Amino acid sequence: MTKYAVITGASSGIGLEFTKLLAADGYDMLIASRDGKALRALAKELAAEHKTKATPLAIDLSEPGAADRLWKKLGAQKVDVFINNAGFGDYVDVVNSDPATLERMIALNITALTQLSRLAAIAMKKRRSGSIVNVASILSFVPSPHNAVYGATKAYVLSFSEALSEELKGTGVSVTALCPGPTRTGFAAAAHMEKSSVMQSSRLPTGKEVAAFGYEAMKQKKVVAVHGAQTKFVSLIAPRILPRSAIRRIIEKVQRRDS
Ligand SMILES: NC(=O)c1ccc[n+]([C@@H]2O[C@H](COP(=O)([O-])OP(=O)(O)OC[C@H]3O[C@@H](n4cnc5c(N)ncnc54)[C@H](OP(=O)(O)O)[C@@H]3O)[C@@H](O)[C@H]2O)c1
């Protein structure tokens, strides 16, 4: 029987690269994001290159009830892999932020991811098999001044995913929190971060590298998958050698607007 995957945020960046890896491994899939045109083009590309049956679903996952609508679209389809990848940030101080944008960010990065993880976990637990990948961040480990709400949503993703993985221990269902550092994708433009020094480095990894790392971690059933030296430093070394007050001051400096 053909294996089946769901990928949110499949139209670009890390999510798009996940679809290619899954297609190369023989998965059929549901690919979801807001941009139906990009998804239809991707479905055609995956069919031509890998004979994949990819079903595009144009959906705004920040809308109320969106997780249920996505799940209903699957019908009786069994899901082997569920990748909660859709997410966005907004590089702005809290006092200058737009409340509607914050609401959409929390709805997408937290609410949709939670509801979809829950639905996937219920179905997978019944079948005693499946893998959930939730895309977290380097900012899951530290407070994120000038991008505070985004960082807090990603701290949630890590905490939630680790807890869920423990709850599912011994059921045959794995949960992996993928924690990338700054990565060259559409993320910086969507977060109004193009000018940030964090995104300026010419050595930023690509979405392809991060997805390949995450895919391997999922196969190995790793619970926390930390990508890149910078993220390893922030998550593992910095908390051992620096007080929290120093860590948040450093992050503030690094993320301070250059303009
Ligand atoms: N790039 C980085 O530096 C970085 C670092 C750490 C973590 N991450 C995380 O990695 C994940 C993937 O981001 P990326 O870097 O690949 O950025 P990206 O290229 O901007 O991709 C984001 C994806 O999410 C989708 N999306 C955005 N809003 C949506 C909504 N309301 N409903 C449904 N889909 C939506 C976008 O598609 P549409 O526009 O078509 O909806 C797109 O496919 C995100 O969770 C992000 O927070 C990124």
Token pair, residue 217, equals 């971690």
Angle at 112 between CA 223 and CA 136, to 5 degrees: 35
pLDDT tens per residue across span 67-84: 999 999 999 999 999 999
174 lines ligand 1 (CB under 6 A): no
The pLDDT value given to residue 258: 62
228 lines ligand 1 (CB under 6 A): no
Q: What's the gap in Å between 108 CA and the centre of ligand 1?
A: 10
183 lines ligand 1 (CB under 6 A): yes
- Residue (of 136, 143, 107, 129) closest to 254 by Cα position: 143
Q: Is the pLDDT of residue 239 over 50?
A: yes
pLDDT tens per residue across span 90-127: 999 999 999 999 999 999 999 999 999 999 999 999 99
Catalytic residue among 4, 27, 91, 150: 150
12 lines ligand 1 (CB under 6 A): yes
pLDDT band at 257 (very low <50, low <70, confident <90, very high): confident
Residues near 79 by Cβ (< 8 Å), separated by ≥ 6? 4, 5, 6, 120, 123, 124, 130
Q: What's the gap in Å between 139 CA and the centre of ligand 1?
A: 15
What's the chain's average pLDDT?
96
Is 150 considered catalytic here?
yes
Q: How far apart are CA 215 and CA 211, in angstroms?
A: 6
Element (H, E) at 35: none
CB burial of 85-109 (b: ≥16 within 10 Å; e: otherwise) equals bbbbbbbbeeeeeeeeebebbbbbb
**Domains of the chain (ranges, CATH numbers):** 4-255 (3.40.50.720)
pLDDT band at 240 (very low <50, low <70, confident <90, very high): very high
Q: What's the gap in Å between 49 CA and the centre of ligand 1?
A: 24
Q: How far apart are CA 52 and CA 56, in angstroms?
A: 12
Beta strands 224-226 and 173-179: pairing type? parallel
pLDDT tens per residue across span 199-238: 877 789 999 999 999 999 999 999 999 999 999 999 999 9
Task: Give the predicted TM-score (pTM) of the model.
Answer: 0.97
Cα separation values, 146 from 105, 124, 157, 161, Å: 15, 38, 19, 25
